[in-house]
Amino acid sequence: MPPSLTTLTDEQLVIECKKDQQHFAVLVERYVPKLTHYIRRRSLATSDDIEDLLQNIFIKVYRNINEYDTSLLFSSWIYRIAHNEMIDWYRREKRRTTLSLDDEAQDIVSKLFTDDDHVTRFSNAEQKQMVIDAVNKLDEKYKDILLLRFFEEKSYEEIADILTVPPGTVAVRINRAKKQLEKILTKHGTN
């Protein structure tokens, strides 16, 4: 792959893909690791399931690349496709979404809570696991929003594009998610 292709932005690559579909491989190479990590965080999918999901995501991206709205970030667009594909997968498998944050258990408290009180209160591994369990008890829309904001590090605007909701709704849901999380933790005696 020519080095010049790797320096192009996602949006520039999409334009090039519309002229020559061979450029699509660069986008796939960029997004396989990101989307794999996203799928792993959001589910208990097996490696085979993840491969199937990725294949379906990239097929949809490839088929719809001409409909990509260049006013949006490509990353938001592909994450929206991934998000919708995962919802379809959960429906087919008749499963409930589960966040899998084992690799980030050390960071979960500092990502979700900014005050020292929470960081101190949830400092050991058992307490961090309680936070992970509490996150998994949240309503789906709150779980999704926390994952995208604090673990995928998406901006409010990107989350709004991915979930197709207004940016103000993103802010409200993040606030409500944190309140619901606090309520679950309080109910289980962690206060």
pLDDT category of residue 107 using cuts at 50, 70 and 90? low
Mean pLDDT calculated for residue range 145-162:
88
pLDDT category of residue 124 using cuts at 50, 70 and 90? low
| Residue 144 to residue 163: CA distance in whole angstroms | 9
Residue 138's pLDDT is: 85
Residue 96's pLDDT is: 59
Range 3-93 classified under CATH 3.30.43.10: no
Residue 72's pLDDT is: 81
Topology classification of domain 103-187: Arc Repressor Mutant, subunit A (1.10.10)
pLDDT category of residue 183 using cuts at 50, 70 and 90? confident
Ranges of each domain in the chain = 3-93, 103-187
Query: Contact 25/1 with Cβ under 8 angstroms?
Result: yes
Q: pLDDT tens, 35-47?
A: 998 888 887 788 8
Query: Contact 13/26 with Cβ under 8 angstroms?
Result: yes
Q: pLDDT tens, 11-59?
A: 888 888 888 878 899 999 999 999 998 888 887 788 898 999 999 999 9
